[in-house]
Amino acid sequence: MKHFVSLALGALLLGAAAFGMTACNGNEPDDPTIDPDTPVTPVGPDTPGTPAKTYSVYAPDGAPALALVNAIEDGSDAFEYHVVDSSTIQTYVTGAEPVADFCILPLNAASKLLGTGTTYEMLGTVTNGNIFFLSAEDNEDLTKDNLSTLIGKSVGVVQLPNVPGLTLQVVLNMYGIDYQIVENGGEEAADKVNLIAFDPANVTPARGCDYYLCPEPAASTKIKGTASAQKPFRLAGDLQELYGGEEGYPQAVLVAKKSVLEGGEEDKGAVDTMLSYMEESGTYLETVTPETVLSALDGVRTEGLSASFNANNLTAEVIDHCSVRFTAASECKEQVNAFLEELIAVNGTSAAAVSDDFFYNE
């Protein structure tokens, strides 16, 4: 009897289960039909049904782009990288709806465009100067101890109105050395340093300046290109060293969109990941091959843009000369403010003072 009851009860339970399965899999209105053999992949890290975010990262071609190489090589789908023409970098952080979630750009440009901290904040500095003196003459290599020997001499300056030339003027002011800008074949002064604007193509030993000031990779390219000349170029001074010793000067900075910095957990994770990339960027470049660097940048550069770096001009020495090293905003605030003040003293339109809100606090 007990055996019969057990069988009857089992039959009832099986019937109920079958009815339940039929109800669950019934074609109710708007019910999706789920194939149990089809794997289900989550589409968002936190919110089911919401696609994971992709964060846009922009940098101008050249030294600032080197700071992104280890991030690009990591291959995370969370970030989309764009290496663009340096003359257009400001367009990605301005306008009613700026497209860059993260952006590397020159400090002086960032100060003028974003210095209020309203739409973007500075996460830190990523490059610290890549400008060097060249000479083909029998001149001293320039140091802090003998910079006054420039008085009465001529310096051909690539990008004289921009950061290279402005920074040279800052340095001369730091050491109390008088200078003048010689324009259109004007007369050089014997009691001042004579600064002359030069197009990179015209920087040759035959042009006759005592020194030239060039950014990398142009500086190394000029040295290599004149190696067999009767009077070849040599490296004759380090502008970064003259300004700030091993620290150099704050050249390019990383900014992040305020809406990302103040977003949810996914946004916070993206910021933390980007900061970790930046903190490791300098160390990574010390060990990576130039070929890897070129491959990484070629894969994200704007189509048709002529590359700043190529197989002929990128070497381990050039990478080192680009001074890629990250310093968090909280640690470089004083240095950034001081450098901006010095740039403004040279040219009031070259930079702007920034608010405390410009600096990101983790």
* pLDDT tens digits, one per residue of 131-157: 999 999 999 999 999 999 999 999 999
* CB-based contact 120:93 (threshold 8 Å): yes
Spatial CA neighbour of 190 closest among 158, 150, 155, 160: 150
pLDDT of residue 185: 80
User: Any idea which of 92-96, 205-209, 214-218 has the lowest mean pLDDT?
Assistant: 205-209
Residues 6+ apart with CB under 8 A from 181: 160, 195, 196, 197
pLDDT at position 265: 95
> How far apart are alpha carbons 123 and 358 in whole angstroms?
9
What is the gyration radius of the CA atoms in the chain, in angstroms?
Answer: 29
pLDDT at 33 over 90: no
Whether pLDDT at 339 is above 60:
yes
CB 351 within 8 A of CB 249: no
Contacts of 70 (CB under 8 A, 6+ apart): 277, 280, 281, 284, 285, 288
Mean pLDDT of 63-79: 97
Which residues, 6 or more positions from 26, have their beta carbon under 8 angstroms from its beta carbon?
Answer: none
pLDDT confidence of residue 247: 95
- Looking at residue 51, what is its pLDDT? 58
Phi and psi based region of residue 237 (left: phi greater than 0; alpha: psi -120 to 50; beta: remaining): left
- pLDDT for 117 equals 98
Which tokens hold the place of 231?
Answer: 């009077």
Q: What are the residues facing 134 on neighbouring strands?
A: 212, 235
Mean of pLDDT values over 296-305: 96
Distance from C-alpha of 159 to C-alpha of 165, rounded to nearest angstrom: 6
pLDDT of residue 232 exceeding 60, the answer is yes
Q: What is the pLDDT of residue 15?
A: 42
In this predicted structure, the answer to whether residue 41 has a pLDDT above a threshold of 80 is no
Beta-strand relationship, 252-257 and 120-127: antiparallel
Which of 296-304's residues contact partners 24+ apart within 8 Å by CB, and which partners? 296/68, 296/69, 296/72, 296/73, 297/61, 297/65, 297/68, 297/69, 297/72, 297/83, 299/72, 300/68, 300/72, 300/81, 300/82, 300/83, 301/61, 301/83, 301/84, 302/82, 302/83, 302/84, 302/85
Give the global pTM.
0.84
Q: What rounded mean pLDDT belongs to the chain? A: 88
Cite the DSSP H helix spans in the chain: 2-24, 63-66, 69-74, 107-114, 163-174, 218-225, 239-244, 258-261, 265-287, 290-298, 316-321, 329-346
Q: Which tens digit of pLDDT belongs to each residue from 160-180? A: 999 999 999 999 999 999 999
Contact 34, 45 (CB under 8 A): no
Cβ within 8 Å of residue 301, ≥6 positions away: 61, 83, 84, 307
Instruction: Give residue 311's identity as a one-letter amino acid code.
Output: A
What pLDDT is recorded for position 178? 98
Q: Is the CB of residue 83 less than 8 Å from the CB of residue 60? A: yes
In this prediction, residue 229 carries a pLDDT of 92
